[in-house]
Amino acid sequence: MRANSGTKSKKSARNGHARYVELRLYVAGQSPKSLAALANLKKFCAEHLDGQYKLQVIDLVKTPQLAQNDQILAIPTLVRKLPVPIRKIIGDLSDSARVLVGLDLRDKEGAQ
């Protein structure tokens, strides 16, 4: 079962080369780390991704079979599905600077 937090798709007005990002967050039920990660991610997306993203939250307690595909071991894990190549950030995403590095989106930020 997938918990879609919905897509906030808004055309970037500032520059045309804004990249579209597809993210998947793996959590395990309502564990504190999972909840913290989700909250931190939402905050991060709002601050840095400017609506150019799609976020999917997967609860492995409910759908354990999905863990294999993305090779999930650590919880929580954030996977950048797009743009390729795949990147993974593990942890509660409390350090937004490192999330930025992990998602490899700084170039875009720097260009802005």
Residues that bind other proteins (CB under 8 A): 26, 28, 31, 33, 36-37, 40, 60-61, 64-65, 67-68, 71-77, 85-95, 98-99, 101-102
Query: Do 25 and 57 form a contact (C-beta atoms < 8 A)?
Result: yes
As given in the structure block, the two tokens for residue 9 are 């798709």
**Distance in angstroms (rounded) separating the CA atoms of residues 77 and 74:** 6
Q: Go through 15-53 and write b for each residue having 16 or more CB atoms within 10 A of its CB, e for each that does not.
A: eeebeebebbbbbbeeeebbebbbebbeebbeebbbebb
State which residue, 18 or 90, has the beta carbon closest to other proteins. 90
C-beta of 103: minimal distance to other proteins in Å?
Answer: 8
If the CB atoms of residues 13 and 68 are measured against other proteins, the closer one turns out to be: 68
Least Å from the CB of residue 104 to other proteins: 9
55 or 99: CB nearest other proteins: 99
Minimum CB separation of residue 11 from other proteins in Å reads 29
Least spacing, CB of residue 75 vs other proteins, in Å: 4
How far is 54 from 7, CA to CA, in rounded Å? 5
**Cross-strand partners of 21:** 53
Taking the least distance from each CB to other proteins, the nearer of 8 and 88 is: 88
